[in-house]
Chains A and B, each alone.
Chain A
Amino acid sequence: MKAKAILKLLALLLVMLSAFMLSSAAVASYYRESVRVVESFVLPAVGCILFAVAVFALTPGKERPYFSAKSGYLFVSLAWVAASAVGALPFLLSGTIPSFTDAFFETMSGFTTTGATVFADVEVLPRSILLWRSTTHWLGGMGIVVLTVAIFPLLGLGGLQLVEAEAPGPSVDKITPHMSGTSKRFWLIYVMLSATEAGLLFLGGMGLFDAVNHTFATMATGGFSTRNASVGYFKSGYVDAVITAFMVLAGMNFSLFYKVAKGRIKEALRDPELRVYLSIFLGGSLLIAFDLLRNRVFGGGFGTAFRYGAFQSATVLTTTGFATADFDLWPPFSRTVLVALMFVGGCSGSTAGGVKVVRYLMLLKQSLTELKYLVFPRGVFAVRLGGTPVRKMMIFDAASFFFLYLATAMACTLVVSSAGYGFETSFTAALATLGNIGPGLGLVGPVRNYGHFPAYVKWALSFAMLAGRLELYTVFVLFSPEYRRR
C-alpha cells in the first residue's frame, strides 16, 4: 500500500522531469544540435511517461494514500536518487559523459544545487546539455518535492509530512494554513526573483542563454556556469554585483520575501537570523577585501578588492559556488575565511545548503546561557531568538545536527584522502559537497573539477551531497534500526 503510493508519486515526478527534458530537446533542435543530442532527451522523457502510464495502469485504486513521516523520508530520498539517475541519462546518451558514475555525480550535484562538476571544459558542450545542467539546479533549488506538493494536491495527494522531511532548514514559517498554499507562494517568489535576475543580467549585456543559465544556478544557489571561468568570464562589475545580490537573496528565508510582499517589512528586517546572516556576509567580505588589498592581489583600490571579496564570500556563504577569481591562489587568510564560511551556509527556508545560520545562532545563545548557569546555578534561563523563546528540543536538534554534520564531513574527508589526496583537497571536497557548495580548495578549487577522483570517491561524495541537501536526518533515518522496526 505504502509502496504503491510512493511508486505513484515517483512516477508523477518523473513525468514532470520529462516535461523539462522535452524543453531541453526543443532548445537542442532550435540550436540545430545533432539528432543524437535531441534523442538523448526525448528517449528518457518518453521512457518516464511510459513508466508512469504503466504504474497507474497496474496499481488501480483512487483512495488518498496515507503518508506517514516514515514513508515521507523514504520518498524524499528516493525522489532525489531517481531524479538523478534519470536525469543522468541525457549526459550518458549524448556521449558528453561516457561513464554512468560521472553522469550520476553531475546530475546529483545539479539536483542538490551543489555545483561540483566533472567537466574540465564546459564551453565545448552542446547548449541543450548546459541548459539541462542548469535546469537540474533550478528544479532542485526549491526542492522537487515542494513542487510536487504544490501541484499534487490538485491530484488529491496530500503531503504535509513530505515538506517536514524536505523543506530546507528547521523553521519554515507556515505562511498559509495549507502547506500546498505555502509552497505555491514560495514557488511564485522563486519564479519572480528568477525572472528579475534574468532580466537584469540580460539588460547588463549578457546573452539571453547565459542570463537564463546563470539565473537558474544563482537562485538555486547551485553554481553550474556555462563558462570555464564561471562568472569571471564576463569581466563585468555590473554582472558581479547583480549575481552577488541575488546569491545573497537566494540564501535568505523565503518566508521573509512573503512578509515583505505583505508590507510587513519591519518584521522581516527584525528577523534575527537575517541580521546575523547579513553580518556574516559583510564581515567575510570586508576581511577578504582588506586581505586582498594588503597583499595587492588585484590592481586598483578597495573597491576592486571588495568586489571580489564580496562575490566570493557570497558564493561560499550561500553555498552557490560560482567564481570570479581563482581564490585557491589567494593569500592564506582569505582562503581560511572562505573555509570558515563553508561551515556556515545560508538561512533556513532558503535554497542554500550547509548547517544554516539559525542553528549557529541557537547554539551560540545556548552557549551564552551556559555561562549564566555557571554564575547562577539555580537560575532558570530561556534561550530566545528575536524575543521568542526557543524550545529546548530545537537546541538539542541543532546540537546533534551540528555533530552529525561534522562527523559526516570527517568521514567523507577520510574517504577522499584514502584515494591519496592531501588534507586541503580532501577536507574542502567533503565540505563543498556536504554543504552543497561546489568548488573547494586545492585540486577541487574553482578552476579545477571533480573528474579526477576515482569512482568510489564520486559515489561517496554523491551521497554526501544528497545527505547535505536533505538535512542529514532525512537520509540517515533510513539506516536506523528504529526505521525498519514495524
Chain B
Amino acid sequence: MRTVILGAGTTGLQLAKWLASEGKDVALIERDPDIARVAANALDCLVVEGDGSQPEALERAGIAKAQAFVALTGSDELNIVTCSVAAAEQPGLRRIARVRNSYFTSLAPSRRSFMGVDRFINPDIETARAFVSLLSQGLDSSIVRFSDEDLVLRSSRLAQGSPFAGRSLRESRAALGLSFLAAALERGRGIEIPSGDTVPDPGDVIYLLGAPRDLDELLGEEPSALPRMGKVVLAGGGPVVRLLAEGLAGGAAAATLGLAREAKGLFGSTRRPSVAVVESSMAACKLLARDLPGALVLNRELSDEDLFLEEGLTGADLFVAATEDQELNLLSASRAKLFGVERSLALSENNAYSPLVERLGIDGVISVKSNVVASIVEYLRGGNLTTLHSFYDRGLKILEFTVTEHSRLDEVPIRELDLPKGALVIFINRRGRSSLATGDTRLVVGDRLGIFTSMDAIRKVEELFLGRDA
C-alpha cells in the first residue's frame, strides 16, 4: 500500500517516518529543493521534488499505485485543490487534507464532495479532542478504562517481594487464584509480550488486564478517577481554547469533541464546570467574551506573578495551558501545580519537551503535530480496526477489531490467529460483555477484539485482520 504525502513540513516528515516504521511504502512531494533533499536523506522513502498541484509531480510520486493521498501544505486551499487533482488522476484514492479553517470541517459531506476530499483533518479539533480523551482517561497513564466497565488495564512497577516477582506468570496465576491477563512486560528499555513461562523481575513494569475488583486486590486500590471538575482554567485565546471552553460549557463544540458523551463521566454529574480563560491580548479577549457567553475571560499575562492569587484561580480542578508559546505552556502548567491546581495539562507544538513532562510535575502534554499524525494514521488504517488507546511515550497501542462476515475468522480459535511477535489478543467483547481472551476462545461474527500491540507489530496485525497486502 502506497501513501503519497504532499508537504515535507514537521507533520509530513513525522507521518512519513511513522508509516515507514510500520513498513509501508511512502512517497513524499516537496516543492522546496533544500527541504526535499534533507527529507530524502533522513527518511527511508521516495522524495519527489515538485509542485503537488501539477499532475506530473503526482505521477512521479507513483499516484497510480497509491491507495492514499495526504495533503499537508500550509495552505488549506492548496491542500483541497491538490486532493481534487489527485482524485482526477486516481479515482479510487483515499484523500486527506489538513485544513485550519473550521468552516471546511463543519461542511456536510454532500456539500464538500465536489472538493474531492474524503476527510479533513483540522489540527485544532484533533488537539482539543486529544485533550478530552486524555481527560476522560483520568489523566493517569497507569490505568486504562474501557467504555464498558467489565475490564480495566493497569500497569505497575514490581517491587521487591511482589507476588509476581521471581516466579513464572503461570505459577503466579495458580497461586493467586484470581483471573487476570499479563498483556506486556516492560523491562530495561524493551517491551515484551509475556508467555506463561516468563518470569518477571523486580523493577519490571507489568501490564495487567482483569476485572477492576481482582486488580484492586493484586495492585492495591485503583487510583480514583478524575475528581469532580468544578473549576477549569484555560490559558490562551486560540481555536483549541475556544473549542475546549465551548465544549466544556456544553456549547456546539461539545458534540465535535465527543464531550456530550463523555460529560457525565468527566464531571461526575450533569453540572457544567465554571470556565475561566486567560489571554494576554485585549483584542483576542474581546472576541472570546463575545463568543463564549459562559466563560469568564481575563485579560492577563500568563506569566504575571499574581495571576493565580488575584484572579482566584488557585485550587482549580483543571488547568490547560494552550497558548502559542509551548515553553510558556509547559512552565505555566508546572507553576499552576504550585497553586494547588489539581490537574494541569500543556499544549506543545512537537515532542521536543515530552521527556520533561514528568520532571515538571505536569499531568500531560498534547503535541499538536504528533496528534495530527496519529489521527491520519488512524484514518489511513481504516476499516474496522481502530485505536482504543495509545501509550504515547511507550510505543504501545490497544487496537480494536470487529469480526465481520468478510473477515473469514468465524469459528477460528484465537490460538490459530497467527499473531505476529509483539501482539496479543487481550479481551473479547461479545454482546456487550467483555471477558479475558484465552487461546481456546472461538471467534464469532460481531465479536470485538482488544489487541495489545507494539509499534513494530502494527503492520502485521493490520495485514492479518484487514487482509490487505502492503
Show the binding face of A for B, using Cβ within 8 Å: 376, 378-382, 384, 387, 389
Q: Which of A378, A380, A387 contacts B289 (CB 8 A)?
A: A380
Not counting A378-B299, A382-B289, a sample of 19 additional A-B residue pairs whose C-beta atoms are within 8 angstroms of each other reads A376-B296, A376-B298, A376-B311, A378-B300, A378-B310, A378-B311, A379-B296, A379-B299, A380-B282, A380-B286, A380-B288, A380-B298, A380-B299, A381-B289, A381-B297, A382-B286, A382-B290, A384-B293, A389-B290
Query: Could you list 11 A-B pairs, sorted by A, with CB under 8 Å?
Result: A376-B296, A376-B311, A378-B299, A378-B311, A379-B297, A379-B298, A379-B299, A380-B282, A380-B288, A380-B299, A389-B289
In the assembled complex, the CB of B292 is this many whole angstroms from the nearest CB of chain A, namely 9
Chain A residues with CB under 8 Å of B288's CB are: 380
Point out the residues of chain A lying under 8 angstroms from B290, CB to CB: 382, 389
- A389: chain B residues at CB < 8 Å are 289-290
| B292 and chain A: residue at smallest CB distance | A382
Question: How distant is the Cα of A376 from the Cα of B298 in the complex, in angstroms?
Answer: 8
Chain B residue at minimal CB-CB distance from A379: B298
Q: Which B positions have Cβ atoms within 8 angstroms of A?
A: 282, 285-286, 288-290, 293, 296-300, 310-311
Cα distance A108–B115 when bound, in Å?
A: 63
Complex: A389 Cα to B296 Cα, angstroms: 15
Which of chain B's residues have a CB closer than 8 A to the CB of A384? Answer: 293
Q: A373 to chain B: closest CB distance in Å?
A: 11
B448 CB → nearest A CB, Å: 42
Q: How far is the CB of A111 from chain B (nearest CB, A)?
A: 41
- With the chains together, A387 CA to B294 CA distance in Å? 11
Nearest-neighbour CB distance to chain A for B94, whole angstroms, equals 40
What's the minimum C-beta distance from A392 to chain B, rounded to whole angstroms?
10
Which residues of the other chain, B, contact A382 by a CB distance below 8 angstroms? 286, 289-290, 293
B89 → chain A, closest Cβ, in Å? 44
CA distance A130 to B29 in the complex (A): 86
Provide the residues of chain B in CB contact with A376, threshold 8 Å: 296, 298, 311
Chain B residues positioned under 8 Å from A387 (CB to CB): 293
- The CA of A378 and the CA of B289, in the complex, are separated in Å by 12
Most chain A CB neighbours (cut-off 10 Å) among B286, B289, B299, B311 = B289
How far does the Cβ of A19 sit from chain B's closest Cβ, in whole Å? 49
Measured in the bound complex, the distance between the Cα atoms of B311 and A463 in whole Å is 52
Candidates B286, B293, B298; contact of A378 at CB < 8 Å? B298
> Which chain B residue has the least Cβ–Cβ distance from A384?
B293
User: Which A residues touch B282, using CB under 8 A?
Assistant: 380
State how many angstroms separate the Cβ of A387 from the closest Cβ of chain B.
7
| CB-defined contacts of B311 to chain A, threshold 8 Å | 376, 378
Bound CA–CA A209/B288 (angstroms): 58
Tell me, rounded to whole Å, the shortest Cβ–Cβ distance linking B56 to chain A: 48
Q: Which residues of A contact B310 (CB under 8 A)?
A: 378
> Is A380's CB under 8 angstroms from B293's CB?
no
Task: Write out the residue numbers on chain A whose beta carbons fall within 8 Å of the beta carbon of B293.
Answer: 382, 384, 387
Chain B residue with the shortest CB-CB distance to A372: B296
- Least CB distance, A139 to chain B, in whole angstroms: 41
Which residue in chain B gives the minimum CB-CB distance to A388? Answer: B290
Contacts of A378 in B (CB 8 A): 298-300, 310-311
Q: Which residues of A contact B297 (CB under 8 A)?
A: 379-381
- 4 closest A-B pairs by beta carbon, nearest first, are A380-B285, A382-B289, A380-B297, A389-B290
**Best-buried of B290, B299, B310, B311 by chain A (most CB within 10 Å):** B290
Bound CA span A462–B288, Å:
48
Measured between beta carbons, the chain A residues less than 8 angstroms from B289 are 380-382, 389
CB distance from B27 to the nearest CB of A (A): 48
Taken together as a complex, chains A and B put the C-alpha atoms of A389 and B290 apart, in Å, by 6
Residues of A within 8 A of B296 (CB): 376, 379
Task: Please report the C-alpha to C-alpha distance between residue A379 and residue B292 in the assembled complex, in whole angstroms.
Answer: 13
Docked pose: A225 CA to B297 CA in angstroms: 55
Q: Identify which of A378, A379, A380, A381 gathers the most chain B CB atoms within 10 Å of its CB.
A: A380
Instruction: For B286, list chain A residues within 8 Å (CB).
Output: 380, 382
* Complex interface: chain B residues within 8 A of A381 (CB): 289, 297
Q: Nearest chain A CB to B367's CB is how many angstroms away?
A: 30
In the assembled complex, the Cα of A384 lies from the Cα of B289 at a distance in Å of: 10
- Residues on the B chain within 8 Å of A379, using CB: 296-299
Chain A minimum-CB-distance residue to B285: A380
A154 CB, min distance to chain B CBs, angstroms: 40
**A380 — which chain B residues lie within 8 A by C-beta?**
282, 285-286, 288-289, 297-299
Smallest CB separation, A372 vs chain B (Å): 8
Nearest Cβ in chain B — how far from A135, in angstroms? 47
Q: How far is the CA of A480 from the CA of B54 in the complex (A)?
A: 64
- Residue among A379, A381, A387 with most chain B CB within 10 A: A379
Minimum Cβ distance to chain B for residue A192 (Å)? 37
From residue A381, how far is it (CB to closest CB) to chain B in Å?
Answer: 6
Q: Tell me, in angstroms, the Cα distance from A431 to B43 when the chains sit together.
A: 83
Report the nearest A residue to B301, measured CB to CB.
A378
A378 to B299, CA, bound (A): 5
CB distance from A391 to the nearest CB of B (A): 10
Min C-beta distance of A349 to chain B, whole Å: 24
